[in-house]
Structure 1
Amino acid sequence: MGYEQVRDTDPAVADALVGERQRQEDTLAMIASENHASEAVLEAQSSELTNKYAEGYAGERYYAGCGYADEIEELAIERARGLWGADHVNVQPHSGTQANMGVYLAMLDPGDRILSLELEHGGHLSHGHPANFTGKTYEVEQYEVDPETGYIDYEGLREHAESFDPDIVVSGYSAYPREVDFERIQTAADAADAYHLADIAHITGLVAAGVHESPVGVADFVTGSTHKTIRAGRGGIIMCDEEYADAIDAAVFPGVQGGPLMHNVAGKAVGFGEALTPGFEEYARQVVDNAEALGERLKEHGFSLVSGGTDTHLVLVDLRESHPDTSGTVAEEALEEVGIVLNKNTVPGETRSPFNPSGIRAGTPALTTRGFDEDACRQVADTIYRVVDNPDDESVKAEAAAEVSDLCAEFPLYDREDALVDFE
């Protein structure tokens, strides 16, 4: 794709688009929330549905001309049910955060109570951070992981729920590397007679493939992103029992959104269809295997991993023990210079600041999409170690950049037919 039409109209934007495509080809995307969508998903998202307003739901639109929009939304819903087994699915949220907003609006009143994981312990802004609408609208208290183990303290969570008496307990996280025991969190919610919202934004694909426990049928509400490990069109999703369907749908539209982004819903439908093929389970298992291999090699190099390892798609590195003078910001910037793109991240017991934290977070979904196996991920870990150990050494970084370039050439993104997982 050369963006010829864009170039004819707006060369500056075309240059940036081509540059971004080349950047993705030439670097290793290791931000845990990122992935590479298939060209079929990208094509669906750039379709003429961009032009169509479809306020309302299939069969009950406020505008005419929505027959094909209805067909596509119904396909996305049907396929989502096939992937996650939910009774009711809403595929219209523009993002995972707006999916959470839909649940809050449907089930809570301003001033109601939310119990969720502290951001620096792996939680998310939309779970109650004071800078987010949740922290401004609701009364929030937050639980933490065990400082010694890095695991969720489920018994402490239950006791916290009993004492705080929340209206909703939130599970699901953005920087927690271990499998979540949704049943135990449901027990905590039950102890407080609270709703349970399971936000699986990061692990939608892992849950769909059966390589992570599912909260569907356990939690009252399950939300997620549709572009991370599930690798579909960019946006969000809400799943719930039929008894909450009307409240959820009304909260999404007209509660927090107007017209759905139907081109993104089309991308969701295509991506969900890809995830229903046999090859997707193999992909998801490889994501987890790759993360484990990455983490184990980093540990061999002396890095400290929060919780000691991973069960999921990401590792969270605490630099304070192995590299006390190197912040996550320094590590992130040095690694980006050589073509490894990951993110600085707070760690439990953070002693710096969110803007210059003590950790880095690295994920394997996008690497796995390119075809990386465990050996390739160990090679990446070796490169990460050398760069973080010598962030100011230009010769080390030059050598690392060459290694990254070789890996990108060995595992091209969109330039070869078998670069992405075979969905046939």
Structure 2
Amino acid sequence: MTGPLDAVDPQIRDLIDREAARRAGSLQLLAAETIATPAVRAAMGSVLADKYAEGYPGHRYHGGSEVVDEVENLAVDRAQSLFGADYVNVQPLSWALANFAVYAAFAQPGDQVMSLSLRHGGHQSHGSRANLSGRWFSVVNYEVRQDTEQVDYDRIRDMALIHRPRILLAGGTAYSRTWDYAAMRMIADEAGCVLWVDGAHVMGLAVGGVVDSPVPYADVVSVATNKVMRGPRGGLLLARGEHAEALSRAVYPFLQGAPAMHSIAAKAVAFAESGTEAYRSYARDVADLASDLARNFADRGLPVVSGGTDTHIGIVDVTPLGVTGREAARRLAASGIVVDKAITPFDRAAVAEGSAIRYGTAAVVAGGVVPADAASIADLMITAMSSDDAAVHAGVASAVTGLGDPE
């Protein structure tokens, strides 16, 4: 069992190679993905993957943790410097587990949580009945305005003062606009609740200087290190110092056992790389490409939810093309372009079908696409979505291979 992967398990080697080829031959316009850097991948595949280190630095249950203590301390120090947070926890194994740690730290089952509706851009971990969050907590949803398709802070304030939730949550996975964190802080203070910002999709842009950071305003911010930030799949918590003990205990021992030390090392690498000018240039291109795509879709007659985007995410209404979001996503996939189907706020279509697609630009920018490619990409996508002809799809797929320089 000491041979190379090719010899030990050729089936898995083949599947890995096929996935690499799939990515290299298509446009990955998924909002939840980017491409980890070579240095991050090297840390993920290191000997640190073998180390069991339950507990926190200096207080491990297992011996032989002197080196990994240094790894975790370095990751924390780098995150504090990068994000400007008083408290950092790098142990969450995923963004979803980081979210559950917030609930564990600040709420009891049955407590009220106020969040953006799933149908208006929120996430299932923000109170969906299909998720632990919606079954254990009493969730009140706010929605976007029908005229602007953006959140209404006056309405959020009115609701917060009526319901007095334990936690007020800002953030979502299909909301493309920036948030007024100062306004949310004022609402939380007036309503006497904890302000939690789910920054999974925005913190990679915030550290790149593209959008404002919620850290100065929020009690706690949950982060995914792999959506825009080019780190490993994993979670991160940033908080005010007064919440350190509650969050530390929520992560370990309440939710998790031993952390993944190879992932923590890879997070440390990502934090260092995210502080560079090269990363800031990447983040700017991610946001610019998303905005340029939105403008091109609108110019071609496809409405964009909220009128555009401030982030890497765009939600495009495809009904003018005579297709549902699900069918549009299928046709795009057949043409080498990968997106998610989506619903629009106040959508009358069934969730399973949707009236829209959701795109994200981090992965394609990491793979070499630039904002100047926006018009070409929009044209290719509209061509693919407008036809169910295999020859048309093959032509789009051929053109897609000439965009960017995928890793």
TM-score, structure 1 normalization: 0.93
2:357 pairs with 357, 360, 377, which one? 360
Is 2:402 the counterpart of 1:406? yes
Residue number in structure 1 paired with 2:315:
316
Instruction: State the Cα distance separating 1:413 from its structure 2 match.
Output: 2.2
Is 2:222 the counterpart of 1:207? no
Contact 1:82–1:276, Cα closer than 8 Å, also in 2: no
For the residue of structure 2 that corresponds to 1:197, the secondary structure is strand
For the residue of structure 2 that corresponds to 1:406, the secondary structure is coil
Is 2:178 the counterpart of 1:171? no
Instruction: State the Cα distance separating 1:148 from its structure 2 match.
Output: 1.4
Is 2:140 the counterpart of 1:115? no
- Deviation per residue, 1:40-78 (Å, 9 max, x gap): 111111111111111111111111111221111111111
Residue number in structure 2 paired with 1:130:
129
Which residues in structure 2 correspond to 1:64-143 (within 5 Å)? Answer: 64-143=63-142
Instruction: State the Cα distance separating 1:292 from its structure 2 match.
Output: 0.9
The residue type equivalent to 2:31 in the other structure is: A
Residue number in structure 1 paired with 2:340:
343
The residue type equivalent to 1:132 in the other structure is: N
Distance 2:14 2:108 in 1: 47
Q: How many residues align?
A: 405
For the residue of structure 1 that corresponds to 2:251, the secondary structure is helix
Contact 1:125–1:132, Cα closer than 8 Å, also in 2: yes
Distance 1:311 1:412 in 2: 25
Instruction: State the Cα distance separating 1:371 from its structure 2 match.
Output: 2.3
Contact 1:234–1:267, Cα closer than 8 Å, also in 2: no
- Deviation per residue, 1:199-236 (Å, 9 max, x gap): 10011211112211111120111111011111112100
The residue type equivalent to 2:328 in the other structure is: A
Is 2:286 the counterpart of 1:290? no
Distance 1:81 1:282 in 2: 22
Is 2:386 the counterpart of 1:389? yes
Distance 1:387 1:413 in 2: 21
Contact 1:73–1:265, Cα closer than 8 Å, also in 2: yes
The residue type equivalent to 1:276 in the other structure is: G
Instruction: State the Cα distance separating 1:15 from its structure 2 match.
Output: 0.9
Residue number in structure 2 paired with 1:418:
none
Contact 2:340–2:359, Cα closer than 8 Å, also in 1: yes
The residue type equivalent to 2:262 in the other structure is: H
1:372 pairs with 351, 369, 374, which one? 369
Residue number in structure 1 paired with 2:49:
50
Residue number in structure 1 paired with 2:150:
151
Contact 2:292–2:371, Cα closer than 8 Å, also in 1: yes
Instruction: State the Cα distance separating 1:326 from its structure 2 match.
Output: 0.9
Distance 2:200 2:351 in 1: 21
Contact 2:318–2:328, Cα closer than 8 Å, also in 1: no
Unaligned runs of 5+ in 2: none
The residue type equivalent to 1:149 in the other structure is: T
Residue number in structure 1 paired with 2:327:
330
Instruction: State the Cα distance separating 1:14 from its structure 2 match.
Output: 1.2
Residue number in structure 2 paired with 1:252:
251
- Deviation per residue, 1:11-42 (Å, 9 max, x gap): 21111111111111111111011000111111
For the residue of structure 2 that corresponds to 1:142, the secondary structure is strand
The residue type equivalent to 1:309 in the other structure is: G
Identity of matched residues, %: 40
- Deviation per residue, 1:101-121 (Å, 9 max, x gap): 111101111110000000110
For the residue of structure 1 that corresponds to 2:4, the secondary structure is helix
Distance 1:182 1:127 in 2: 18
Contact 2:369–2:405, Cα closer than 8 Å, also in 1: no
Distance 2:34 2:366 in 1: 7
The residue type equivalent to 1:28 in the other structure is: L
RMSD: 1.2
Is 2:22 the counterpart of 1:35? no
- Deviation per residue, 1:305-332 (Å, 9 max, x gap): 0011111111111223x13x41111111
TM-score, structure 2 normalization: 0.97
Contact 2:203–2:213, Cα closer than 8 Å, also in 1: no
For the residue of structure 1 that corresponds to 2:316, the secondary structure is strand
Distance 2:203 2:342 in 1: 21
Residue number in structure 2 paired with 1:234:
233
For the residue of structure 1 that corresponds to 2:114, the secondary structure is strand
Contact 2:314–2:359, Cα closer than 8 Å, also in 1: yes
Instruction: State the Cα distance separating 1:159 from its structure 2 match.
Output: 0.6
Distance 1:378 1:142 in 2: 37
Instruction: State the Cα distance separating 1:394 from its structure 2 match.
Output: 2.2
Distance 1:380 1:67 in 2: 50
Distance 1:267 1:27 in 2: 26
Residue number in structure 2 paired with 1:261:
260
For the residue of structure 2 that corresponds to 1:304, the secondary structure is coil
